[in-house]
Structure 1
Amino acid sequence: MPFSKKRDDVETFKAPKNFGKPKSDNPKWLLPTALTLLVLGPVWIVIYYVSKAQFPIPEIRDWNLAFGFVFMAAGMVLLTRWK
């Protein structure tokens, strides 16, 4: 049976030691802030509808809906930075 020759001049591939470990560059405030905004937005809108436009801020009337959606959008923007 034929034998293959051993090649001494070819280096074998070695995986880096940190292979598969994600690098955590997230600030500690990022995820809690994003989740808070994602929860605050719908809660703001639900409070507006349940209270028949008396709460959270009655002076701005229907703009309360915009505030709720802005909170949710800001939370989604923050989540795009999460690694």
Structure 2
Amino acid sequence: MTKAQQRYSTPKSKNIDEGNPVWFKPIMFGFLLLGLIWILVYYLSSARLPIAVLGDWNLLIGIGVAMVGFLMMTNWK
């Protein structure tokens, strides 16, 4: 190596973003599937399940859980 090459080396970035933690994708897909399953169970049970007292609010809960998964997707790297 020449002296010029020894003086210059490629800068090492210390702030490398390696992506999401290992638990991120399973949690994200879990929320998406849980929301879908919640809505499917509501429709297939003719509004008797998962929580009969809530009635049509079960749809909002299923959509809300799925939305958490969709919002997590925006941070997926």
Fold in common (TM above 0.5)? yes
How much is the aligned-residue C-alpha RMSD, in angstroms?
Answer: 2.1
Identity of aligned residues (%): 38
Greater radius of gyration (CA): 1
TM-score when normalising by structure 1 = 0.69
* Cα deviation digits, residues 37-81 of structure 1 (max 9, x gap): 111111111100110111101111100000110011100111111
1:1-83 aligned at under 5 Å gives the runs 23-83=17-77
Unaligned residue ranges in structure 2 (runs of 5+): 1-9, 11-15
Runs of 4+ in 1 over 4 A off after TM superposition: none
Which residue identity does 1:78 align to in structure 2?
A: M
* Cα deviation digits, residues 1-58 of structure 1 (max 9, x gap): xxxxxxxxxxxxxxx6xxxxx9423122211011011111111111001101111011
Unaligned residue ranges in structure 1 (runs of 5+): 1-15, 17-21
